[in-house]
Structure 1
Amino acid sequence: MWPKDVGIKAMELYFPAQYVDQEELEKFDGVSAGKYTIGLGQSRMGFCTDREDINSLCLTVVSRLMERYRVKPEDIGRLEVGTETILDKSKSVKSVLMQLFEPSGSTDIEGVDSTNACYGGTAALFNAVSWVESSAWDGRLAIVVAADNAVYAKGSARPTGGAGAIAMLVGPNAPLVLDQGLRSSCMRHAYDFYKPDLRSEYPIVDGKLSIQCYLSALDTCYTRYTDKAKRKNNATISLKSFDAMLFHSPYCKLVQKSFARLALVDFLNLPKAEASKKFPELAAFANVKLEETYFDRDVEKAFLAASKGDFEEKTKPSLLIANQVGNMYTPSVYSGLVSLLISKPIDALAGSKVGVFSYGSGLASSMYSISISRDVSRDSELVKIMTNLERVKRELEAREQLSPAEYTRILDVREKNCHAAPYEPKESVENMFPGTYYLNKVDELNRRTYKRVLS
């Protein structure tokens, strides 16, 4: 018999304690006013100093999750990390996290790392859910970690960076249930964004191809999801089927365009006569072909306008963290879930159906849905999640603002010392959030040790 209502039982979010203002970055970079803030839809960008790396990000978020939800090490039977921030070609980040479990003797924990650009967190989540639903499940819970430090070389892509980590506790009787038996995927080979130089943190990006790959994968996943829903449940799916729609967010403006694109797909799925009658202002687009519209400004403008009201209600609330921290890569779409939970009252969320589109360049993508519990009683797990996440807005405002010049200096330090050994970080730890793990040193054999800011 299937375990009931398998999904996310608890969530924890971490982002660095410093950021750069995107409006100031526009001036510093000498670009037109609004290029980053309006054109990309970004306000602030979080980033790591040389004191933080993928291991420290994950140590911080997992320790927070376990402490705040009182999770015991012996309660965990699977631990899996999704990341594209690679420090070692062999040793998994998960193995580093075992430092949190070994003191209690808890070493019987399955899982390692999942890697493919921004999709690794979703792969890890699917694996954890499948483990709970499998014959291998022994009654314990799983922890899924999605974390990355997203940085770019100087140029047009740099303002689309960010950094952060999300940890999710997965098990049965969850308040955020992954709908069983209904999800779609699109996996293809593409060089839209990739990191072949293991000596550098910076990717190679084909910006135009990356947007086309993202939108094409979205079209495919949505079409397949609707087809599967029709076959499985005889259900007709459209944007009206979801109370909220979450997207991987490279930058917020692309998410708004993606929502408009699903409105275009819904429009093209209607019989032409019905579509023209219902939406006379869109009738001129009744015969367009999806694959020819990726960069069609007329189509984009028309469907952005037509879908604006639904976007404001169903998706904009999920972009708070993306707007304030930036693209965290694997945690990006899950920061959207956190943003949704802290942007709407619990009574408005209870019983909601949430659509999720996850994308990772190269490429891997999936669409699935989450059903939010109707239980809003004081001791319910949904209330516990939302109560714990209330501090996120306070932490966003408690961060230290650094100048674009200081931000650039810090990224230059990171670039110069990427994979350096031995190495001792020099940046201050004074302004880090309480409980944050930080890199203490890298020895001559590339062995990393960490310390923790006292609570």
Structure 2
Amino acid sequence: MKIGIDKMSFYTPAFYVDMVELAEAREIDPNKFTIGIGQDQMGFAPLSQDAVTMGANAALNLLTPEDIAAIDLVIFASESGIDHSKAGAVYIHRLLGLPKHARAIEFKEACYAATAGLSYAQNHVAAHPDKKALVIGSDIARYGLSTPGEPTQGAGAVAMLVTANPRCLAFNNDNVYMTEDIMDFWRPLYSETAVVQGKYSTEQYVHFFEEMWATYTEKTGLSLADFEALCFHLPYTKMGKKALDTIITTVDEEKQAELLNYYQLSTKYSRQIGNIYTGSLYLGLMSLLEHQTTLTEGSRLGLFSYGSGAVAEFFSATLVEGFANQLYTAAHTEQLAQRKRLSIPEYEELFKATLPTDGSDYSIDEKLDQAPIKLVGMKEHMRLYTAK
């Protein structure tokens, strides 16, 4: 029995920052942002959008009444959780109107958690092939104004429906993974922003990829020539290429050109949205599938997942017949086109706005955000969500 992703979609808030304008405001050469790290725009989440609402909005495109009736597992993967105790999946379960008799849980391990969620969902569906699992990766990457990490911020979510006999791609059950306790990126409980050692984190990302690739090829006997394309976790779009460069010379020049072309296609959405942590790898996967025209049934795709701290995994999936019919290219293109560009003063003002942390009542102007699902305020320490 094949198990995999039946369909998937993403959501990013209705606001973005132009990276050239941001660079000029910070008196930095724009090429350092657009070429150096490979970012053109940065998705921005207003107070009305948090990890829960973005995750729920990402799933709206996907779910038919038949899907809803069959879902009995919701996994919310995030490092932008809103509560130390209650899983964000519980809110999403209600906002989407999912069946009462379902599990709803939250996973955390930096940017890796959605991959762990997919593995858990796969095992669940293997045991219950008539059921479906909804896996969501949702995050807001936030480092602070005028900080070195500012150009690698972003906001968004991906939603993936895991089923038996999937209509998009099937997992090949060839996963390899590893864990090392390192401090390349973390966020203490008392901090609203992350602590990152940028150069060290990049070095560890590449180190983990090299070790995962060596382990994978030894385990499976496959080589780079056996893959049509590779997708990577993309905290910024140049990051994955640093890993790809370590193995690309193992194939001939024609294959190298093909892999590099597919890599660039996989970065198109990330260039416009920025870093979305747990969802970044799968945003890249969607970007590849929705921009390519030459992949076919049976194409093997490699996926590299990395979460600082650190846990990494490499695995492959195979496209199934009719996969292109499961894509939401037009809806995603329209969503990005309808966003509002924030001026730098507007962005900075919205960035400084915060929710109360003392239990005070708070209302958010609903006119600022027309999303179907959003946060409208707080009351007695509780977040108040609405769904149209």
TM interval, short-chain normalised: over 0.9
State the identity as a percent: 27
Flag the 1:408–1:186 CA change in 2: closer, same or farther, 3 A.
same
Contact 2:58 / 2:158 at 8 angstroms: preserved in 1? yes
| Largest Rg, 1 or 2 | 1
Number of the residue aligned with 1:439: 375
- Alpha-carbon shift at residue 362 of structure 1 (Å): 0.4
> What is the letter of the counterpart of residue 232 of structure 2?
F
Contact 2:172 / 2:315 at 8 angstroms: preserved in 1? no
Number of the residue aligned with 2:290: 342
Answering whether residue 123 of structure 2 is matched by residue 130 of structure 1, we say: yes
Answering whether residue 241 of structure 2 is matched by residue 256 of structure 1, we say: yes
Tell me how far apart the structure 1 counterparts of residues 333 and 93 of structure 2 sit (CA, whole Å).
30
Contact 1:16 / 1:432 at 8 angstroms: preserved in 2? no
User: How many equivalent residue pairs?
Assistant: 387
Match of 2:149 among 145, 157, 168: 157
> What is the letter of the counterpart of residue 144 of structure 1?
V
Tell me how far apart the structure 1 counterparts of residues 302 and 79 of structure 2 sit (CA, whole Å).
24
> What is the letter of the counterpart of residue 121 of structure 1?
A
Tell me how far apart the structure 1 counterparts of residues 386 and 102 of structure 2 sit (CA, whole Å).
24
Contact 1:259 / 1:311 at 8 angstroms: preserved in 2? no
Tell me how far apart the structure 2 counterparts of residues 169 and 262 of structure 1 sit (CA, whole Å).
32
Tell me how far apart the structure 2 counterparts of residues 429 and 214 of structure 1 sit (CA, whole Å).
41
Answering whether residue 130 of structure 2 is matched by residue 183 of structure 1, we say: no
Tell me how far apart the structure 1 counterparts of residues 33 and 288 of structure 2 sit (CA, whole Å).
23
Q: Which has the higher strand share?
A: 2
Match of 1:392 among 299, 313, 332: 332
Tell me how far apart the structure 2 counterparts of residues 13 and 176 of structure 1 sit (CA, whole Å).
15
Contact 1:79 / 1:109 at 8 angstroms: preserved in 2? yes
Contact 1:259 / 1:307 at 8 angstroms: preserved in 2? no
Tell me how far apart the structure 2 counterparts of residues 114 and 197 of structure 1 sit (CA, whole Å).
16
> What is the letter of the counterpart of residue 338 of structure 1?
M
Contact 2:88 / 2:106 at 8 angstroms: preserved in 1? yes
Tell me how far apart the structure 1 counterparts of residues 246 and 188 of structure 2 sit (CA, whole Å).
32
Tell me how far apart the structure 2 counterparts of residues 216 and 354 of structure 1 sit (CA, whole Å).
21
- Alpha-carbon shift at residue 311 of structure 1 (Å): 4.2
Answering whether residue 114 of structure 2 is matched by residue 121 of structure 1, we say: yes
Contact 1:256 / 1:311 at 8 angstroms: preserved in 2? no
Tell me how far apart the structure 2 counterparts of residues 164 and 331 of structure 1 sit (CA, whole Å).
8
Number of the residue aligned with 2:187: 195
3-state SS, counterpart of residue 61 of structure 2: helix
Contact 1:355 / 1:367 at 8 angstroms: preserved in 2? yes
Number of the residue aligned with 1:74: 69
Match of 2:82 among 87, 104, 118: 87
Indicate the RMSD between aligned Cα atoms, in angstroms.
Answer: 2.2
- Alpha-carbon shift at residue 118 of structure 1 (Å): 0.5
> What is the letter of the counterpart of residue 227 of structure 2?
F
- Alpha-carbon shift at residue 167 of structure 1 (Å): 0.9
Answering whether residue 302 of structure 2 is matched by residue 355 of structure 1, we say: yes
> What is the letter of the counterpart of residue 24 of structure 2?
K
Tell me how far apart the structure 1 counterparts of residues 266 and 141 of structure 2 sit (CA, whole Å).
20
Q: Which runs of 5+ in 1 are unaligned?
A: 231-235, 268-277, 280-305, 377-381
Q: Counterparts in 2 of 1:14-163, with a 5 A limit?
A: 14-66=11-63, 69-100=64-95, 106-134=99-127, 137=128, 139-154=130-145, 155-163=147-155
Answering whether residue 145 of structure 2 is matched by residue 167 of structure 1, we say: no
> What is the letter of the counterpart of residue 217 of structure 1?
F
Tell me how far apart the structure 2 counterparts of residues 255 and 180 of structure 1 sit (CA, whole Å).
22
Answering whether residue 228 of structure 2 is matched by residue 243 of structure 1, we say: yes
Tell me how far apart the structure 1 counterparts of residues 345 and 66 of structure 2 sit (CA, whole Å).
41
Tell me how far apart the structure 2 counterparts of residues 427 and 406 of structure 1 sit (CA, whole Å).
16
Flag the 1:138–1:335 CA change in 2: closer, same or farther, 3 A.
closer
Tell me how far apart the structure 2 counterparts of residues 98 and 119 of structure 1 sit (CA, whole Å).
22
